[in-house]
Amino acid sequence: MDNKESAKERFLDTFLGAVKDWDKHLAESINSDDDANHIIKENLQKMIEEQENHGNAIGLGREVWYSNDYFIHCLILDFISDVKGDQDLVDELKLIYVGKLGNPGLDAEAINMDMESEGYLIKISFEMDLNILLFSNFVSYHLYGMQIDDEDEIKKLLPGAFETFLLFIDKKELLKKTEEILQIGPKERDLTSIRVHIASELFEASMKFLLSHEIGHHFLKHTESNGRNLVSKFIPTDATSNQLHLDEFAADNFGFDLSIIQGKKESNKTFLLAPLIVILMLALFDRTPEEPSQTHPSLRDRYLNLLSRVSEVNEQVASEHQHFFDFVASWINGLLPGYWKTEWWKPIAE
Ligand SMILES: [Zn+2]
């Protein structure tokens, strides 16, 4: 037990290009010779200083963080404080390490346990994080639009909705924009606007759902390779995929419970929307969200399952969210005609 490596050590040892500190890594990788980059670097350094002050203030140095990414670390801290009545769960959560990687691709995964290490390792790609940020931003224009009556104000939101959506599908534009945002720095942006507030809350809630889904795979023992192998000996190969499908629904349900129920967010409509929005974002990378794969149930079924979880909490909100989902998915479908073969999010008429 004593010489086992921690999840953090395992992360740094296993993955090529894994860094101890994501923001420091970003700051160091920027060549500050040209003026624009110089501003980016200064902003990042300011941010790192603020993170360090905050970490020191709450008695946690950088070394004991739950992630190499400050924001993700804070989300895990939230989970820990959400479940503080349940000491066993607190102790388990403290064994989590989330490693952010610079690899391209939409990737978040609970890494299988092994004998040589302890703790629960989760990896997430930079691109996954960024896509959730952008998609939350995009959705926030529509959400805010729903809340206001003034037609002119609603029209003013359209360019923003288009712009954020295009960023989402055009990676080159996205990189340019990311640099712009870093140059402006968080201070100068209009943090008081309601729309920006909605976007950042939706981002937080979506990341929490995503992370707690992966935590679910660990805590529900889907990552104990022994357990999985034992089971697969007794079930025929074609049924194995069904077990994987069941695991996926179980992880979604666990994620819903940890991020919303345990987090006491049942009356927060944005939090109730977030799991559905994560599914919609994933559907943008899936031409057939109505079809299951070998390892995953269809996004349509995951959406319907999560929608039913929302309706258990509040039927009225579930119905509002179903309409909103239909509105945004139809909007996307209008912009990318033929991308999806079906209106996969719609209930099948009986
Ligand atoms: Zn999963």
Q: How far apart are CA 203 and CA 259, in angstroms?
A: 13
Residue with tokens 């319907």: 304
- pLDDT tens-place string over residues 221-236: 999 865 444 444 444 4
298 CA to centre of ligand 1 in angstroms: 12
Query: What distances in angstroms separate CA 127 from CA 10, 108, 131, one per listed residue?
Result: 22, 10, 6
DSSP state of 112: P
Any idea what DSSP says for residue 62?
G
Q: Where are the beta strands (DSSP E) in 27-147?
A: 96-101, 108-110, 120-125
Dihedral angle at the C-alpha atoms of 15, 16, 17, 22, nearest 10 degrees?
0
Which uninterrupted H or E stretch holds 301?
A: helix 299-313
pLDDT at 123: 96
Whether pLDDT at 219 is above 80: yes
Arithmetic mean of pLDDT, 246-252: 95
For position 150, what pLDDT does the model report? 87
327: phi then psi, degrees, rounded to nearest 5: -65, -50
Query: Residue 214 C-alpha to ligand 1 middle, in angstroms?
Result: 6
pLDDT on residue 122: 97
pLDDT digit string (tens) for 254-283?
999 999 999 999 999 999 999 999 999 999
**How far is the centre of ligand 1, averaged over its atoms, from the C-alpha of 326 (Å)?**
24
Q: What are phi and psi of 109, to 5 degrees?
A: -150, 135
Cα 262 to ligand 1 centre (Å): 20
* DSSP designation for 63: G
Output the CA 333–ligand 1 centroid distance in Å.
26
**Residue ranges per domain, the chain?**
7-127, 129-335
**pLDDT higher than threshold 80 for residue 188:** no
The CA 284 to ligand 1 mean position distance, Å, reads 17
27 within 8 A of 42, measured Cβ to Cβ? no
Distance, CA of 292 to CA of 342 (rounded, Å): 14
Buried b (16+ CB within 10 A) or exposed e, 165-181: bebbeeeeebeebeeee
